[in-house]
Amino acid sequence: MELDGINVFIGHQALLESQTNFFSLLAVYAISRQYYRYKQPPNDNQAVKKIPDLWLWVSAIALALTVTTRLNGVLVGVAITIFLIQAGYWQKVIKLGLIAGGAVLVLWLPFLLGSVLESIRQVVFFQLLREPDGISTNALTLGTITINNP
Contact residues: another protein, CB under 8 A: 1-3, 5, 7-9, 11-16, 18-19, 21-22, 25-26, 28-29, 32, 65, 67-71, 107-108, 110-111, 114-115, 118-119, 122-123, 126-127, 130, 135-143, 145-147
Residues 116 and 124: beta-carbon distance below 8 Å: no
Q: Which helix (H) or strand (E) holds 134?
A: none
Report in angstroms how near the CB of residue 44 gets to another protein at its nearest.
25
Q: CB 24: neighbour CB atoms within 10 A?
A: 24
CA torsion through residues 108, 110, 113, 115, sign:
negative
Which lies closer to another protein via its Cβ, residue 7 or residue 94?
7
Radius of gyration of the chain (CA): 20
**Cβ nearer to another protein, comparing 93 with 123:** 123
Question: Please, what is the minimum distance in Å from the beta carbon of residue 85 to another protein?
Answer: 20
CB 133, min distance to another protein, A? 8
Residue 73 CB, nearest approach to another protein (Å): 9
Q: Is 29 exposed, middle or buried (0-12, 13-18, 19+ CB in 10 A)?
A: middle
Judged by beta carbon, residue 45 or residue 146, the one nearer another protein is 146
